[in-house]
């Protein structure tokens, strides 16, 4: 009898262990609900919590201020990553906000933009399914404003086969290394290159580089390695699983690896980077190295505010886009659109939503260049491909698409640092080191056709 | 291989991490011993409590004290509500079914947190985190000390409560046989409600401490319970002391692996590897003992 009870208890406990292991696999494999959001022309939501210093006129979004677009919708779509530890939805929600603004002010020659995006959890089959759904079911004519970890890798051949020129931000190398994708950001690899340059400028003699353990880390790691080598600084690379549960040990590990005259460079999403930085702070480690740096995701006031003043001037963030409170016309419009239409932009003002805004503006600029009023896959994507000289105060130099085997149009960027709960510019536009082979290749393309990065037609709202 | 000097700081971080696991683990064992329910929503309840405290401080202008109290009370209220509504109908079901049912609450809370707060960077620094002392050149802040002391305190108080109080004795009787305990005149529902409330208050307090020690992130705090579960399984869901010790060992091993770069990235497996080894050893010993007794 006792034996029976004992084995039953053991079975129960073992069952619960299996349940726990299963749960942990589910946690790492899948995220929150797989939902999609659809928006069509019409009013946007309420206000966010903008810190705009000078209000801009949102009627500048379109060509007919105050006139709602009522024509046949132009359908656009995107695929974005949303899973525990990685939420890239701010790009799409901000693009959506801008499209709402455009629709409220005349649309594209009277046509409203109808925008739909799907949220994926780094599952290739799911992502491929969404791509087919966008084209076959939703009948989109352009794929713009997406921001995903692996979407470029999964779908680029499909887009190429359809003649779609994707306007996307991302992580996978294919976002920058293929003919049919051109992002407004430079991605984790080149942004990490910039962060490495930042800590070396701050005097670091050795670098500890850490990033989240997600697909594509080898590709990202190669960039900082080549730049560090060119700068004659040794680099030690790490990967850590996300969501991070033990940030204290990670912070300690990185500080030990960098040494007192070294620098720590992080390539994580804001919540994960914040955990490491706060752990460093709680262990008094922030002054134990020459400098701390982050790739672009940290360039958000959320991080600056959460870190507090102890990190003011101590954290260098490679910022692919300008700070959100600069007073250029595009940034003022971005803040105004966020205020009026950006209620779904949960991360607030920051790099991700800026990217969404830039991509939306690029899309509108391309759509407005189409003559004859026919908006199909062929005309829309030809117009997107023809974009060049796109000048905005959010980027260091004019952006372009063009016909090329790879696209890294954003290859010169800023360095920011926290100050009183906000990110401020520390260093102005500095080119990413061409020791990274991709950068060297794209500089050669720009040299061959200088018109690509020369300022062209003013963007909407300028 | 890192030197002893390299390992030393990780002992401190390991103890803090162990304290984190112990907090959740002990809280889950307390409830399991009283109701037979392994509450997998323990982390989610604490996470939501912490986010509510953050919201009250940063957006509603509350002082820290009342906001922290609201976090703890939220934990107690939600867990009590779940226990009162779903406890009795599930009382006679298999422990695995009861545990799985709490996943429902976990998913609901996760959904609500995602809807209200999304997955964005935010933090809540307790005043105790800004002060501390140095041990072997390693800074230890008072929140880490409180976490370990709190887990120890909970362990001691619970052991005394279960052994020497009337309600504690009733809880132990309930865990053994609900039907017989009811026939003896024990107010079963009231005792169970007390257990749910106590465990819930504990989850709120744990959420508050963990949001500071680990990070104010819904998913991380919710699923931290999985690592803590390994400690409770080593304690075979009965022994609070073994659960506490197991949690500390898991935290220590996890942290001490960190500087060993060749295996560092596999350290998240530590709780499950240790739980599996412990269960196999315990099963083997029990089997030998039983066969020896039979022979």
Residue A131: CB partners within 8 Å, gap ≥ 6?
A: A79, A143, A151, A154, A155, A158, A159
Hey, are the CB atoms on B223 and A306 less than 8 Å from each other?
no
A348, A366, A431: which is closest to A164 by C-alpha? Answer: A366
Q: What is the mean pLDDT of chain A?
A: 86
Residue with tokens 């709202």: A461
Hey, are the CB atoms on A246 and B96 less than 8 Å from each other?
no
pLDDT score recorded for residue A22: 52
Structure tokens at A370: 């189409």
**A346 interaction partners in chain B (CB closer than 8 Å):** 118, 120
SS3 A384: helix
pLDDT exceeding 90 applies to what percent of chain A?
A: 66
Residue A13: CB partners within 8 Å, gap ≥ 6?
A: B233, B236, B237, B279
Structure tokens at A11: 């079975």
Other residues' Cβ atoms within 10 Å of the Cβ of residue A313: 11
- Cα–Cα distance, A185 to A350 (Å, whole number): 13
10-residue mean pLDDT profile of chain B (295 residues): values are 81 85 86 86 95 94 94 96 92 88 94 82 84 82 88 87 88 81 85 90 91 87 87 89 92 90 84 87 70 58
- Cα–Cα distance, A193 to B164 (Å, whole number): 63
> For the residues A50-64, what does the mean pLDDT come to?
71
Q: Is the pLDDT of residue A256 over 80?
A: yes
SS3 A390: strand
Q: Is the pLDDT of residue A424 over 50?
A: yes
Structure tokens at A290: 């020459």
pLDDT score recorded for residue B178: 79
List, in sequence order, the alpha helices (H) in A165-215.
Answer: 174-177, 187-201
pLDDT tens-digit readout, A85-97? 678 899 999 999 9
β-partners of residue A78 are: A117
pLDDT score recorded for residue A11: 54
Question: What is the predicted ipTM?
Answer: 0.84
Structure tokens at B21: 């696991």
Dihedral of alpha carbons A441, A443, A448, A451, sign: positive
- Cα–Cα distance, B201 to B254 (Å, whole number): 28
Roughly how many angstroms between the first and final C-alpha of chain B, as a whole number?
A: 49
| Minimal-distance CA residue of chain A relative to B59 | A49
Q: Of chain B residues 256-285, which have a CB less than 8 A from chain A?
A: 258-259, 261, 264-265, 267-268, 272, 275-276, 279, 282-283
SS3 A240: strand
Q: Which among B13, B220, B258 has CB closest to A243?
A: B220
**B9 interaction partners in chain A (CB closer than 8 Å):** 252, 256
Q: Rounded to the nearest 5°, which phi and psi values hold at A130? A: -65, -40
- Binned at pLDDT 50, 70 and 90, residue A25 comes out as very low
Q: Is the pLDDT of residue A50 over 50?
A: no
A410, A401 contact by CB (below 8 A): no
pLDDT score recorded for residue B272: 87
A130-144, A225-239, B18-32: which range is least confident on average?
B18-32
A166, A226, A251: which is closest to A441 by C-alpha? Answer: A226
SS3 A450: helix
CB of B111 within 8 Å of any CB in chain A?
yes
Residue B60: CB partners within 8 Å, gap ≥ 6?
A: none
A335, A50 contact by CB (below 8 A): yes
- Cα–Cα distance, A343 to A125 (Å, whole number): 31
Dihedral of alpha carbons B138, B26, B285, B293, sign: positive
A439, A375 contact by CB (below 8 A): no
**B114 interaction partners in chain A (CB closer than 8 Å):** 32-33
**Distance (Å) from the alpha carbon of A87 to chain B's nearest alpha carbon:** 6
CB of B106 within 8 Å of any CB in chain A?
no
Dihedral of alpha carbons A69, A345, A322, A147, sign: negative
pLDDT score recorded for residue B91: 83
């Amino acid at each position: 009898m006792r034996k029976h009870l004992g084995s039953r208890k053991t079975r129960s406990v073992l069952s619960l262990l299996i349940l726990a292991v299963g749960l942990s696999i589910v946690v790492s494999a899948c995220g929150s609900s797989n939902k999609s959001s659809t928006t069509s022309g019409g009013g946007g939501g309420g206000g966010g919590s903008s810190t705009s210093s000078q209000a801009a006129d949102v009627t500048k979004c379109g060509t007919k201020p105050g006139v709602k677009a009522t024509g046949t919708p132009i359908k656009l779509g995107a695929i974005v990553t949303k899973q525990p530890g990685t939420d890239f939805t701010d790009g799409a929600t901000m693009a959506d906000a801008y499209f709402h603004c455009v629709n409220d002010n005349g649309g594209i020659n009277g046509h409203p933009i109808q925008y739909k995006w799907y949220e994926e959890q780094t599952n290739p089959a799911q992502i491929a399914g969404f791509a087919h759904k966008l084209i076959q079911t939703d009948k989109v004519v352009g794929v713009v404003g997406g921001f995903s970890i692996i979407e470029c890798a999964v779908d680029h051949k499909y887009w190429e086969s359809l003649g779609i020129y994707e306007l996307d931000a991302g992580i996978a190398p294919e976002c920058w290394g293929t003919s049919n994708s051109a992002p407004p950001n430079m991605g984790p690899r080149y942004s990490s290159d910039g962060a490495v340059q930042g800590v070396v400028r701050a005097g670091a003699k050795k670098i500890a580089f850490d990033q989240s353990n997600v697909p594509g880390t080898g590709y990202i790691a190669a960039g900082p390695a080549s730049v560090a080598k060119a700068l004659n600084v040794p680099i030690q690379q790490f990967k850590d699983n996300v969501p991070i549960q033990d940030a204290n040990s990670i912070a300690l590990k990185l500080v030990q690896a960098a040494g007192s005259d070294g620098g720590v460079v992080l390539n994580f999403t804001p919540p994960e980077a914040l955990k490491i930085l706060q752990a460093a702070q709680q262990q008094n480690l922030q002054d134990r190295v020459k400098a701390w740096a982050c790739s672009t995701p940290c360039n958000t006031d959320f991080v600056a505010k959460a870190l507090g003043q102890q990190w003011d001037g101590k954290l260098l963030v490679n910022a692919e886009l300008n700070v959100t409170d600069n007073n250029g016309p595009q940034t003022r419009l971005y803040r105004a659109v966020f205020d009026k239409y950006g209620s779904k932009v949960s991360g607030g003002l920051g790099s991700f939503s800026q990217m969404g805004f830039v991509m939306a503006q690029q899309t509108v600029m391309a759509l407005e260049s189409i003559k004859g009023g026919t908006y199909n896959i062929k005309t829309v994507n030809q117009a997107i491909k023809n974009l060049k000289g796109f000048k905005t105060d959010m980027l260091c130099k004019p952006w372009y698409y063009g016909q090329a085997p790879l696209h890294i149009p954003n290859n010169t960027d800023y360095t920011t640092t926290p100050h009183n709960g906000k990110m401020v510019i520390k260093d102005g536009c500095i080119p990413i080191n061409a020791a990274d082979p991709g950068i060297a290749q794209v500089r050669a393309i720009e040299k061959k056709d200088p018109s690509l990065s020369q300022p062209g037609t003013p963007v909407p709202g300028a | 291989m890192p030197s002893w000097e390299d390992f030393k700081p990780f002992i401190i971080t390991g103890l803090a991490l162990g304290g984190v696991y112990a907090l959740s683990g002990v809280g889950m064992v307390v409830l399991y011993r009283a109701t037979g329910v392994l509450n997998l929503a323990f982390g989610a309840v604490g996470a939501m409590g912490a986010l509510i405290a953050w919201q009250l401080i940063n957006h509603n202008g509350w002082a820290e004290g009342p906001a922290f109290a609201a976090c703890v009370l939220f934990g107690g209220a939600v867990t009590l509500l779940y226990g009162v509504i779903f406890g009795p109908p599930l009382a006679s079901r298999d422990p695995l079914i009861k545990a799985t049912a709490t996943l429902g609450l976990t998913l609901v809370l996760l959904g609500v947190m995602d809807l209200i707060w999304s997955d964005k960077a935010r933090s809540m620094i307790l005043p105790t985190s800004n002060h501390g002392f140095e041990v072997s050149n390693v800074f230890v802040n008072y929140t880490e000390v409180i976490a370990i002391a709190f887990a120890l305190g909970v362990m001691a108080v619970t052991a005394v409560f279960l052994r020497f109080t009337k309600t504690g004795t009733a809880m132990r009787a309930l865990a053994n046989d609900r039907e017989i305990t009811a026939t003896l005149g024990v107010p079963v529902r009231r005792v169970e409600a007390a257990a749910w409330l106590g465990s819930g208050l504990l989850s709120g307090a744990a959420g508050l401490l963990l949001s500071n020690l680990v990070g104010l992130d819904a998913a991380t705090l919710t699923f931290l319970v999985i690592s803590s579960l390994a400690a409770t399984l080593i304690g075979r869901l009965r022994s609070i002391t073994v659960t506490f010790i197991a949690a500390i060992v898991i935290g220590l091993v996890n942290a001490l692996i960190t500087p060993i770069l060749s295996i560092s990235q596999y350290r998240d497996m530590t709780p499950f590897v240790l739980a599996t080894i412990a269960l196999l050893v315990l099963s083997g010993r029990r089997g030998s003992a039983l066969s020896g007794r039979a022979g």
